[in-house]
Structure 1
Amino acid sequence: MLTSMHQNRPKVTIDWSQVSDNTNTDSLMEWVSAVPETRNVHVYLSPAVRGVRHTLLSLGCKVTLRPVSA
């Protein structure tokens, strides 16, 4: 039996935290927009691309800002 914690976990995780600028964010947004259930998508973003955070949240994605590790 799955607990509610397991049932609510995103099915798709995208780690965009290593992106240092807005390179390919259009591709990311296009791909995420095509996902039928965006609430099942969790995106990790670097501070450099946090500008797309609001759009991803409005699509229903879970978004986490993650600092770029050195």
Structure 2
Amino acid sequence: MTKRAPVHFRMTQYAEGKPWIVIEPFGGEDLSVFKKTVGFDLLAGTTVEEAEKICKFLQDYIEHITET
């Protein structure tokens, strides 16, 4: 069975300041992917400003996450 849920992307930083992007549920069906923290490590040297732009791009263009 396929389940879908809207998602929210949030830029955060590791303790040493390196930015990364986390995926958070935004309602919808209960997906097993959200039982853990899921995110994206960005390339070394990515600035906070670049990470925020990437996060905004993902937020603007990805509507749902799908789990089958």
TM-score by length of 1: 0.25
- Structure number with higher relative contact order (C-alpha < 8 Å, ≥ 6 residues apart): 2
Going by fraction, where is helix more abundant, 1 or 2? Answer: 1
TM-score by length of 2: 0.26
Going by fraction, where is strand more abundant, 1 or 2? Answer: 2
